[in-house]
């Protein structure tokens, strides 16, 4: 592994060399403490590539703030070394992703890479970083490929894969008694993967897809599709929309008077962090996600309080993913006591980490994708309340990963 960091000699190298030195060359022993001192005091560079402008700006900010909160809780030290952040706005633009990743890797020589939010940016980023690049932690982007075809020892994800987002929805809806379902989603990579995973579990569970309506991404004129939905008269509709589209969809759905006759389900982003904007329209909407604000566990309560205190805003699932990204990096660095050269040991510590996350228990699969519980939630009085656990320890098949 060619580690181009300034830290030319790794700790393991030095241990071996040190042994050789003590065995033979007395002079070498003079070098030992000096190098160790440099290794311990020099800053660890954490490169952050998240969107701070455009549609995903809020997500980027929350992820960064939560991760920094986690570091701050440990005195801003990683394995005994202070941290230096190199923070870049990804603008969620795929066209610039590789260039920016290169900047972090080649110019800034970062030890860790955290990002991004956008799946396509994620693919360009992972493609550049996998293999020899820095240890990379993905705090949101959900494309299956990131821990599938593109998986690599130095790539981790603390969020979810599209598969994990969609798959638990099928049985959950059947269990709720909805068998004739229309599938509506934004017709882009992420939306398609979530929809495909949903179908994969829904059909075997005895459900029928009345019609699949992919709508152009990122457009938000849903009126024509809602009219079509009304005419199809299904039991329920399963959707994938996020951000502005989710707000608009939920409101238009309610305004079209469809709430009484068709039950609205969706991947968690449909209602996540959008309570204020959606208002009453979201009441009763059921979504599936690996987190809920109201989760009743000590880690969550502690985290939400701390996040509110430092940032002044309420934590959401993105913040949790950022917080866990921070935790994962801490685990790795603490395991090797700050020696970034001990790559294999660090990766081992990270992939075997069991984290007591605000979302519940969090482990990692062989492909470095999270394994976590997924919850069925319902909006009650503007809050996403957990109805039940939709899937225990939901894993990802990591299709195409040969790790």
User: Hey, which residues does 48 pair with through a beta bridge?
Assistant: 87, 114
Q: What whole-number distance in Å separates Cα of residue 192 and Cα of residue 194?
A: 5
Strands 180-186 and 208-215: parallel
Separation of alpha carbons 194 and 127, rounded Å: 22
Residue 102 · residue 80 · CB < 8 Å: no
Among residue numbers 39 through 68, which ones bind other proteins (CB under 8 A)? 52-58, 61
Instruction: Output the six-digit token pair for 65.
Output: 């703030």
Least distance (Å) from other proteins to the CB of residue 96?
A: 8
Strands of 9-75 (E only): list them.
Answer: 44-50
Q: Which CB, 224 or 380, lies closer to other proteins? A: 224
233 sits near other proteins (criterion: CB under 8 A): yes
Does 9 help bind other proteins (rule: CB under 8 A)? no
Site residues for other proteins, window 182-211 (CB under 8 A)? 187-189, 192
Instruction: Examine residue 20 and tell whether it contacts other proteins (CB under 8 A).
Output: no
Examine residue 260 and tell whether it contacts other proteins (CB under 8 A).
yes
- Shortest Å distance, C-beta 265 to other proteins: 17
In 3D space, the residue among 328, 344, 350, 338 whose CA is nearest the CA of residue 7 turns out to be 338
Residues 95-124 that bind other proteins (CB under 8 A): 95-96, 98-99, 102-103, 106-107, 119-120, 123-124
Contact 91, 51 (CB under 8 A): yes
Find the binder of other proteins among 1, 38, 255, 344 (CB under 8 A).
Answer: 255
Contact 309, 289 (CB under 8 A): no
**According to CB under 8 A, which one of 214, 314, 382, 387 is a site residue for other proteins?**
214
Residue with smaller CB distance to other proteins, 204 or 218: 218
Rounded to 10 degrees, the C-alpha dihedral 250/256/259/261 comes to -140
What gap in Å lies between CA 163 and CA 158, rounded to an integer?
A: 14
Binding region for other proteins (CB under 8 A): 52-58, 61, 88-89, 93-96, 98-99, 102-103, 106-107, 119-120, 123-124, 127, 143, 187-189, 192, 213-221, 223-228, 230-231, 233, 243-244, 246-248, 251-252, 255-258, 260-262, 274, 276-279
């Amino acid at each position: 592994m060619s580690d181009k960091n300034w830290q030319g000699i790794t700790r393991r190298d030095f241990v071996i060399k040190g042994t050789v030195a003590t065995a033979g060359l007395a002079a070498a022993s003079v070098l030992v403490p000096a190098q160790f001192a440099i290794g311990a005091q020099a800053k660890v560079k954490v490169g952050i590539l998240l969107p701070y402008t455009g549609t995903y700006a809020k997500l980027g900010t929350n992820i960064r703030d939560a991760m920094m909160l986690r570091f701050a809780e440990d005195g801003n030290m990683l394995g005994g070394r202070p941290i230096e952040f190199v923070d870049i706005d990804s603008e969620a633009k795929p066209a610039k992703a590789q260039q920016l990743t290169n900047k972090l890797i080649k110019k800034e020589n970062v030890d860790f890479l955290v990002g991004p939010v956008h799946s396509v940016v994620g693919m360009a980023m992972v493609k550049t970083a996998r293999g020899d690049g820095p240890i990379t932690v993905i705090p949101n982007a959900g494309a299956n490929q990131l821990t599938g075809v593109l998986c690599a020892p130095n790539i981790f994800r603390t969020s979810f894969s599209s598969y994990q987002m969609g798959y638990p929805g099928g049985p959950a809806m059947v269990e709720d008694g909805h068998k004739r379902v229309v599938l509506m989603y934004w017709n882009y990579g992420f939306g398609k993967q979530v929809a495909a995973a949903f179908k994969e579990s829904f059909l075997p569970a005895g459900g029928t897809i009345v019609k699949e309506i992919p709508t152009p991404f990122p457009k938000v004129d849903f009126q024509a599709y809602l009219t079509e939905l009304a005419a199809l008269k299904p039991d329920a509709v399963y959707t994938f929309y996020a951000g502005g589209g989710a707000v608009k969809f939920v409101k238009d759905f309610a305004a079209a008077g469809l709430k009484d006759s068709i039950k609205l389900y969706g991947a968690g982003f449909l209602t996540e962090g959008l309570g204020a904007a959606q208002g009453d329209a979201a009441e009763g909407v059921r979504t599936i996600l690996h987190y809920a604000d109201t989760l009743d566990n000590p880690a969550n309560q502690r985290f939400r309080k701390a996040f509110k205190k430092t940032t002044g805003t309420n934590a959401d699932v993105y913040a949790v993913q950022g917080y866990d990204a921070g935790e994962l990096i801490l685990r790795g660095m603490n395991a090797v006591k700050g020696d970034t050269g001990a790559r294999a040991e660090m990766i081992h510590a990270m992939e075997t980490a069991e984290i007591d996350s605000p979302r519940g228990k969090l482990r990692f699969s062989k492909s470095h994708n999270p394994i976590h519980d997924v919850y069925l939630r319902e909006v009650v009085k503007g809050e996403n309340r957990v109805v039940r656990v939709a899937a225990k320890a939901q894993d990802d098949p990591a299709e195409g990963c040969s790790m």
